[in-house]
Structure 1
């Protein structure tokens, strides 16, 4: 028997509880309008609730004031409000979309779509006169539907430009997502919300919970996150770094400017490699690894590979900005785009025979990816083998980027061999280890699955959804439990 409050005399019937806000006395319910069965969200503030405060009630009042001025398709509308014997309720439009906090991970491409969607909402809010600053953007306050379209909720901490200074003088928001100017009670600007958007993207990319995100910020208020990424375009890393710059003057000025810079970036178009000591014969004495340790070797490599400039181990990864590099990358991407539709088992041999792929490590990676997507892993491997030993890891990185969506889609028979090919030349790619291990488990190769998942846990060494699933899979295999539908392999 539930103990939900009875709102029938206000024409609403509660269906279930949605959540409790960190501010004492604030509870959200999914409800139906009795007259027309329209689903709505009812946010209740109870004065008698333990820890309830007048500030919590003012937040509700503030949210209503803000929402009454907004008519945006991806901001749930304010519908109604009413008083109760012990408090106050606000009724809002319901969206059938979970918050970002409820899903453990997204692919890099999905994260870009979500980020673009959030920025589009902010661009509209900031284009108003005066502009609206949300002040509490985080995964819990962003809903995402099946098309990865975002909806922004919880405007209780929002403020309108420079107005309401008394209220904004109180530090508000969530640690890790609050810009430094908020922490120090300094003036906010349209760049303030951008910091929170960037922090949200970092949380999603690194699979870091909201409560732990502040652990990625050093004593100088700089985010340290690039070492946790693999297969991400350095352009996107640079863009994120600018979004979360401690000084708001170093960020983009507003959401529209950030959006314009983000849209043309292919999030996995150029891979940022984090390489460690090779673990197999293909990578022994690799100049790539030595280059990360010794700047002199890096310079030698840069002079040899004028079209490829691997990242050094710095806190911020920079993409080469020469016109020559950009031109060669565009050529490789265009080549793969032109042939991708023929990367299937029927057409691939003829297609590859009738075209010439760019003769660079990245071009070789795209050629190998075409063969891999067609299921011809033997030919993919043969193409990579033509490269000098110390360049093969770069081709493998491209194969990983192209093959990762296959793994995310759940096609284990295709994804497993592709990830095995990646690991042949990039042995410490923890996501390749994870997907190869999970695919082997699904295909009942417990020995291979165990080897890969144990190595994944050894390298990754973080507690999140990936490690939990890897440990669960290892435990199930020890008990002889197959990977049936009751076990969620992919995330």
Structure 2
């Protein structure tokens, strides 16, 4: 039996209908009309003390939300209007926006999704420019309203925090699984990149037509969202933008909402003929935005590499600046994979050079990547390095991703003498590849290079923030090193 709506006429409000509820927690929202202003609708959020299961943290969330809303003046954050106590609870009154939440079952075009994302980023820019910055901490479809013009409104600041604000133990891990940034889940310091993770997860729900309640279906065993295989009909740069927003390590995301907004605004979301190159992080101080687009697209044509480019030049040590996670490339878009399938049987120490000279790979960065992979499998790491070095800097990490994808099974198979050098080559051009760190560290331990093993496995644990079999194995080997147990054996991959 439905509980009757409360009577708020003594407080000058007339309830129209219920908007949402958590009856077990004693929290209910209503659409109401102000009796002294008949044309003005408001939202009344009530916390009922009399509920036997009411959680006192729910009331504290209302108090916290009032505190924040009183300070915020943004056209797309509904304003705080009033609050009052009743015999059975406490009520907060807020501006009403005639727009449904994103959790309502709706579909949007790619252009509409981009508009929604930019609209949300504008709100986050406002919150992050507040002194001190404000973190929402619960950005998800249920807390976002979107009007007919695809403008977003952000609601529910009950979990919001001010930068560096201390939080009670009972509310340390607060948010919605699937939308919470990993650092929030593991109670690590929040940054301006934390809400960007939640925003990215929200946009992934829209672009893949996934219900917010089903987002856990996109999480792998390492609490990483896997969605690229569900995305069609959009510029690959947009997919790359999303992957940057949801990077497990906050250092690999956009540093703030302003940077993310600038990057997204420059992407032609429906231009599917363009090839994503790379998001590049310049070596600079923290005052410089971490990500700039260098050579963002190559549309309608491949980037040609001059004849003889693969095998000439002397690579010198470089300070690599590319640390954005690079996604696996679908085989159908990789022009060199057919060439590699044909030449792979000859990627050995005896035949590789002759085979590649007689059958040159496609003259683009993908062809270079496959040629380097062939050299790497043959144990000719110097030749693979020279091939990648000849590319433009912004293409090197993209090419070495191919080497990683092809060399990864070698590491999985336990061929440490082959895998170790391959993973070190990957890390030269893609230093934030945590799986390359892991395999390089394990191989170095097996081969007796203990200082290198310690460095790689420590870097892996500092970069990869999940708690699982990979981290347990890394800790096991580091513990053996600390004890002086250098037997070259390590746990099998989980």
Q: Which bracket does the TM-score occupy, shorter chain normalised?
A: 0.5 to 0.7
* Aligned-partner Cα distance in 2 for 1:106–1:229: 13
Partner in structure 2 of residue 296 of structure 1: 340
TM-score norm. by structure 2 comes to 0.57
Where does the alignment leave 5 or more consecutive residues of structure 2 unmatched? 276-330, 344-358, 371-390, 396-494
Counterpart mapping for 1:79-478 below 5 A: 79-166=81-168, 170-271=172-273, 288=332, 294=338, 296=340, 303=362
| Paired residue secondary structure (1:240) | helix
| Paired residue secondary structure (1:269) | coil
| Paired residue secondary structure (1:190) | coil
| Paired residue secondary structure (1:91) | strand
Cα shift at 1:13: 0.1
Using a 3 Å threshold, how does the CA distance of structure 1 residues 101 and 22 change in structure 2: closer, same or farther?
farther
How many residues are matched? 302
| Paired residue secondary structure (1:245) | coil
Partner in structure 2 of residue 66 of structure 1: 68
The 8 Å contact of residues 6 and 13 in structure 1, kept in 2 or not, is answered as: yes
Using a 3 Å threshold, how does the CA distance of structure 1 residues 298 and 266 change in structure 2: closer, same or farther?
farther
Cα shift at 1:120: 0.4
The 8 Å contact of residues 125 and 132 in structure 1, kept in 2 or not, is answered as: yes
Cα deviation 1:35-56 (Å, max 9, x = unaligned) = 1121000000001224211111
Using a 3 Å threshold, how does the CA distance of structure 1 residues 247 and 33 change in structure 2: closer, same or farther?
same
Cα shift at 1:289: 8.5
* Aligned-partner Cα distance in 2 for 1:134–1:90: 18
Cα shift at 1:104: 2.5
The 8 Å contact of residues 336 and 366 in structure 2, kept in 1 or not, is answered as: no
Cα shift at 1:164: 3.2
Larger radius of gyration: 2
Using a 3 Å threshold, how does the CA distance of structure 1 residues 244 and 100 change in structure 2: closer, same or farther?
same
| Paired residue secondary structure (2:37) | coil
| Paired residue secondary structure (2:4) | coil
Cα deviation 1:419-448 (Å, max 9, x = unaligned) = xxxxxxxxxxxxxxxxxxxxxxxxxxxxxx
Partner in structure 2 of residue 20 of structure 1: 21
The one of 37, 47, 52 aligned to 1:45: 47
* Aligned-partner Cα distance in 1 for 2:226–2:51: 40
* Aligned-partner Cα distance in 2 for 1:292–1:17: 58
Cα shift at 1:221: 2.5
Using a 3 Å threshold, how does the CA distance of structure 1 residues 24 and 324 change in structure 2: closer, same or farther?
closer
The 8 Å contact of residues 159 and 168 in structure 1, kept in 2 or not, is answered as: no
| Paired residue secondary structure (2:71) | coil
Structure 1 segments of 4 or more deviating over 4 A? 287-295, 297-302, 306-309, 321-325
TM-score norm. by structure 1 comes to 0.57
Structure number with the higher helix fraction is 1
Using a 3 Å threshold, how does the CA distance of structure 1 residues 288 and 55 change in structure 2: closer, same or farther?
closer
Where does the alignment leave 5 or more consecutive residues of structure 1 unmatched? 274-286, 313-320, 326-491
* Aligned-partner Cα distance in 2 for 1:123–1:88: 32
Cα deviation 1:216-238 (Å, max 9, x = unaligned) = 12122222110001112111111
Using a 3 Å threshold, how does the CA distance of structure 1 residues 24 and 141 change in structure 2: closer, same or farther?
same
The 8 Å contact of residues 33 and 39 in structure 1, kept in 2 or not, is answered as: yes
* Aligned-partner Cα distance in 2 for 1:308–1:268: 23
| Paired residue secondary structure (2:159) | coil
* Aligned-partner Cα distance in 1 for 2:339–2:222: 26
Using a 3 Å threshold, how does the CA distance of structure 1 residues 307 and 77 change in structure 2: closer, same or farther?
same
The 8 Å contact of residues 24 and 51 in structure 2, kept in 1 or not, is answered as: no
Partner in structure 1 of residue 388 of structure 2: none
Using a 3 Å threshold, how does the CA distance of structure 1 residues 236 and 68 change in structure 2: closer, same or farther?
same
* Aligned-partner Cα distance in 2 for 1:131–1:324: 33
The 8 Å contact of residues 118 and 261 in structure 2, kept in 1 or not, is answered as: yes
Partner in structure 2 of residue 76 of structure 1: 78
Cα deviation 1:64-113 (Å, max 9, x = unaligned) = 00100000000000000000111100000000011011132111111110
